[in-house]
Amino acid sequence: MIRLYLAFSLICLLVSTVSSQNASLHPPVIDMHVHGTNTTPGDLINRMKTLNIRYVFVANLGPELPLWNAAMNPAQYLPSLTFPCPQGQAAFVDRPCWGNSQEFPDLIWIRDQLRAGQIKGFGELLPELLGMSPADTRLEPYWQLAEEFDIPVAIHMGPGPPAAAYGLTPATAKLGAFRMAAGDPLLLEDVLLRHKKLRLVVMHAGWPFLDSMMALMYAHPNVYVDVGALQTESMIPRASYYRHLRGLVEGGFSKRIVFGSDFPTQVEIGINAISGADFLSSDQKSDILCNNAARFLRLDLSVCKP
């Protein structure tokens, strides 16, 4: 029995050592684009250990928030709420967003969740899937809440599933209302001028609207971008991703670009895409992978120390 116990302890030690060694091979990372709908808390925690991910911004559905909040370390995790939802369903999984057919969460419920600290961010906001401008009046109460509670907001702008409006996607919800024009980052300008304290991340860096994205960032200092999904070469060819990223960097915005994965299978690929970009300096790589997000989220910058 003693030998069995010692053997088991040795195996646990070796697994822990290998995990630590693997993490040390990767630079510190904050992942600003995680979906609770395509992973589990256990898998995410393991991924964080293996890939040296120090903090995560997790977009989730209302009914699943309690599970995630109970499982995750609050020092490494920001719980965020995804909406609006077409017909009350999550667009890419067959699960309800709140248990009814409403596309938007109840305002009384969401205010209670914010006060209790169960929700600490909004995102991924998905008005583009409904062909809706972010300045649509239906979103205004949520922009007001975000500014009132001083929480970060992440909004999908730019690429959606290819041919989404034609029904040629794996999305469970019908996305016939999807409009690429609703992903133009400049549609956010009136929102930002009404809510000048808003902290906003434009997900997918507004690809392919590079000029509009740079114009918005030039005029509005609280706007950041994440690069979620752009590393996925089945969606965006690597040359196109790098051209967009290089444009943002050359435009002077390297301090306002943050890392995002979007898909669990794309985390390491995304980290390597930033690490391998020869037009980025080592400081710019560190900023994009970790430092910029720490500043945006108002975390202690020690979270990004090697």
Q: What is the pLDDT of residues 47-71, one digit of tens each?
A: 999 999 999 999 999 999 999 999 9
Q: What is the pLDDT along the chain (306 residues), one digit of tens a residue?
A: 444 434 434 434 433 444 444 556 889 999 999 999 999 999 999 999 999 999 999 999 999 999 999 999 999 999 999 999 988 988 888 899 998 889 999 999 999 999 999 999 999 999 999 999 999 999 999 999 999 999 999 999 988 877 878 877 666 566 778 899 999 999 999 999 999 999 999 999 999 999 999 999 999 999 999 999 999 999 999 999 999 999 999 999 999 999 999 999 999 999 999 999 999 999 999 999 999 999 999 999 999 999
Q: What pLDDT digit, counting tens, does each position of 274-286 carry?
A: 999 999 999 999 9
Would you state the pLDDT for residue 5? 39
Beta strand pairing call for 200-203 and 153-156? parallel
- Provide, for the chain, the percentages of residues in helix, strand and coil under a 3-state DSSP scheme, each rounded to the nearest 5: 50, 15, 35
Judge contact between 277 and 245, C-beta under 8 A: yes
Q: Give the start-to-end residue ranges of the domains of the chain.
A: 27-304
With b for 16 or more beta-carbon neighbours within 10 A and e for fewer, the 82-110 pattern comes to bbbbbebbbbbeeebbbeeeebbbeeeeb
* CATH tag, 27-304: 3.20.20.140
**Residue in the structure block whose two tokens are 């435009």:** 251
pTM of the predicted protein model: 0.91
CA angle 292, 120, 212 (to 5 degrees): 50
Q: Which 3 state secondary structure label does DSSP give 31?
A: strand
Judge contact between 289 and 280, C-beta under 8 A: no
DSSP bridge partners of 258: 226
**Residue in the structure block whose two tokens are 């091979």:** 25
Would you state the pLDDT for residue 6? 40
